Structure 1
Amino acid sequence: MADKHIDEISGVETTGHEWDGIRELNNPMPRWWVYTFYATILWGIGYAIAYPSWPLLTEATKGVLGYSSRAEVSAELAAARAAQAGNMERIASRTVEEIIADPQLQQFAIAAGASAFKVNCAQCHGSGAAGAEGFPNLNDDDWLWGGDPEALYQTIAHGVRHAGDDETRISEMPSFTDMLTQDELRQTAAYVVSLTSAPSDAALVEPGKQLFADNCASCHGVDATGSREFGAPNLADAIWLKGSGEQAIIEQMKAPKHGVMPAWLPRIGDSTVKQLAVFVHSLGGGE
């Protein structure tokens, strides 16, 4: 066995490791560190005995304390359901308007509806309900089918153009390609734009107004403020769902875009639909 190497400066034995002429001193660890290390080993052994820790083929060791995080969560969920049971029964037996009239029940429904909205509605309407491209903003007061509590319930429950639901909202704008020439489409678009801003050519507005009265007023109204009976939008408020500007209006007249909203009643149940209606109504745009 080779003689142990002693560092000339410190007089301490080295470990025998050397790298690029540098040797490692074989200094013992401080006692407090060693004792702490031993304590962590003892603590780990005690924890493994007291709590579930060692995985087996189909489960883990139970631990002498019998603790289970799953059982704890299940108990907390059961307690939460028991606390909610009374409110859920009241929601199930009342209309949306009656829920809103009860401040305590309204607050509960808003909180529950906000959670349901994030799970079921935020994908299209956004987490803040401000809408995405082609999907309506639920914070403003522009409603195709009405923004009162019962109207909101009807729309959420039965959807819009949802196949298989006889009570779904139905509206369909026809294509005007075969009815109007390209020049007439431009004139109509110029008139619609003139209701909220300046058109590209003011000379097109007057003939466009007549074309609008002949072809569009039956759904959108003589004053272009829309009709909820047909789900026809208000064209005089500068709020646009499918795109604004003359070219976007022309494209909508040529190839109308028809959105679809699912019927949520069979998916999430009557009580959750009511909670969603109360929540959406509370956003500020509800009537």
Structure 2
Amino acid sequence: MTAPHETARPEPLRISREFRARCETVFRAWSSAEHVKSWFCPEGFTVPEADVDMRVGGAFNVCMRAPDGQQHWTRGTFVEVIPNRRLVIDMMVPDAAGAAIFNARTEVDFSDTGCGMRLDVVQSYTLVDPDRAMGMIAGAATGWRMTLDKLEALVLRLGGSVGVDARSVAHGSFSLERSYDAPPARVWQALTDPAAKQQWFGGRPGEWELIERSMDVREGGRERLKGRWKSGMTSTFDAIYHDVVAQTRLVYSYVMHLDDKKISASLATIQLDATEGGGTRLEITEQGAFLDGYDDAGGREHGTGLLLDALGASLS
């Protein structure tokens, strides 16, 4: 039972947004006053002042200026910082005299989606001045939606993907190895048989919807996979096979699109070797040209590793 002098806490605010970017890029948008000034406010507001020190115990202070010229401060402290994965900030919203109106614990989680990232924000409130606080909190969901619109625009700029003149190419390569408790013939089938490959090569169930799939594994043959993510964005994988040695080697080139935008062109080699005990060692090497800031070798390596893990799970 709540005592007469106590006020029940409002329900926490929960809001999510998917971005066509890596977790590292979106995390970077929180990391400095320069970046935060460009997005941490609703539409029509500006941020003339900010103090951001991204470390446990560091400051997260933001002054938002309303269209009528009034200034509204949020004063916060980082209490958890896990690079590219999680932020927790204890925030206090004061009045013009500096007295607290309410406190807000803001938890921000960054997660890979396989074709971008997802940002999940949970904000829990403790009221100090309930009469004033409730009116401000009532608009929090709308304010966060507009704020995340601005964050999305900044993320595109950070990735070099805004404007027809924002063109760039980043070159990179990586190699990954996996050992599977299955013979090379079975691993080869998982790589080259359409029904077997469908079990592991694609988006996660519930997060991705298949639009198109075709596969012809032979020299000169092509493979195409297109799907739609929950955000509405489509991804397309278009490959050509250049060398096919049964149960031994695949060499192919492929391009990736997000919606209608080409984001990379790559050359990949998969090699299979039998191991003692009847298993298989798989090695994949990829060289890529990553276009206009949408991807890089680090992000592609991470995504490829997840697919190889899914391949292993399909063999069990």
Whose relative contact order is higher, 1 or 2, with alpha carbons under 8 Å and at least 6 apart? 1
- Fold equivalence (TM over 0.5): no
TM-score (norm 2): 0.20
- Larger Rg: 1 or 2? 1
Write 1 or 2 for the structure with the bigger share of strand: 2
Write 1 or 2 for the structure with the bigger share of helix: 1
